[in-house]
Amino acid sequence: MNRLEVHLKALKKQGVKGVIPYITAGDPCLDTTMKLLNIFKECGVPAVELGVPFSDPLADGVVNQRAAERALKSGTTLRGILERLENDKPEVPVILFTYYNPVFKIGLDQFAVIAKKAGISGILTLDLPVEEADEYVRIMKKNMIDVIFLIAPTSTQERIKRIVGLGSGFVYCVSRTGVTGVRSDVPGTVVPMVEKIRVETDMPIAVGFGISGPQQAKKVAQSADFVVVGSAIVRLIEQGGSSLDICQRVEDFTKELVRAVK
């Protein structure tokens, strides 16, 4: 097992629930992104999903789309993100949340080497189906990077088995069909989906997409090991102001989420 999976499995064994925040790298700038990574560590999160801004984020709702636009306008690139991570060395485990094109443009082998040097713990490539991922997985695992796949409410038991057999780190269960975004409810499909996944693996299970506040996070944590919260945090960043203002809003909200799931 790679270090991310070891870390999350240890928490699961202890019965410790956790929040995995998502932010877009470079929104509004990489300096603020690095400050937020340190704040997340201080809040006690087990890992952070760091989005790579992309021009065609098909799985993202409008909040995260706007974040990607802001990050691209600030000049953020995948190479720039990795270079900054290598230099700053944040202590919190970082999971890259990306589309395949930026990785493909660098080249799988070269990307994996650079990502390893940058301390990347895991990678989730949204638009790469498990059926086409054998070489990608081999190269990432060779470089000690865990590979996370999404499992949707429409996934069959056979496909769930294939995904957990190829992936590592944790299993990302999507709470609903559609794109990312803030929602007001937790779908009734979450509990049965988590149960279907647990039949196939002892890997930790994280549930995300549409979780917008502490009460929803608490409800999801009753069945899942970890709760992913993205758009609700990105929306706080979008409110703008100084880097200090942004960091304070995100810190306060993250602490609420962490308290809610414990």
25-36 tens-digit pLDDT: 999 999 999 999
The string of pLDDT tens digits covering residues 46-78 is: 999 999 999 988 878 899 999 999 999 999 999
236 within domain boundaries: yes
What pLDDT sits at residue 181?
A: 46
Q: How confident is the model at residue 185 (pLDDT cuts 50, 70, 90)?
A: low
pLDDT > 70 in the chain, percent: 95
Q: Are 241 and 31 in contact (CB under 8 A)?
A: no
If one counts the domains in the chain, the total is: 1
Residue 1: pLDDT over 60: no
77 within domain boundaries: yes
Q: How confident is the model at residue 174 (pLDDT cuts 50, 70, 90)?
A: very high
245 within domain boundaries: yes
198 within domain boundaries: yes
Residue 192 CA to residue 178 CA, distance in Å, equals 18
60 noted as active-site residue: yes
The string of pLDDT tens digits covering residues 96-144 is: 999 999 999 999 999 999 999 999 999 999 999 999 999 999 999 999 9
38 within domain boundaries: no
Residue 145 CA to residue 122 CA, distance in Å, equals 5
49 noted as active-site residue: yes
Sign of CA dihedral 172, 177, 183, 188: negative
Q: Kindly state the average pLDDT of the residues 11-18.
A: 94
Q: Taking the CA atoms of the chain, what radius of gyration do you get in angstroms?
A: 17
Helix then strand then coil, in percent of the chain rounded to 5, is 50, 15, 35
141 within domain boundaries: yes
Q: Which domain holds residue 238?
A: 3-13+45-257
- Residue 131, CA distances (Å) to 11, 127, 134, 162 in order: 30, 11, 7, 9
pTM of the model: 0.93
23 within domain boundaries: no
The string of pLDDT tens digits covering residues 156-173 is: 999 999 999 999 999 999
Residue 14: pLDDT over 50: yes
The CATH number given to whatever domain includes residue 214 is 3.20.20.70
Instruction: Give the active site residue among 5, 31, 42, 60.
Output: 60
20 within domain boundaries: no
Instruction: Give the active site residue among 5, 27, 31, 49.
Output: 49
Quote the tokens at residue 247: 């960091």
Place of tokens 């290598």: 86
What pLDDT sits at residue 198?
A: 96
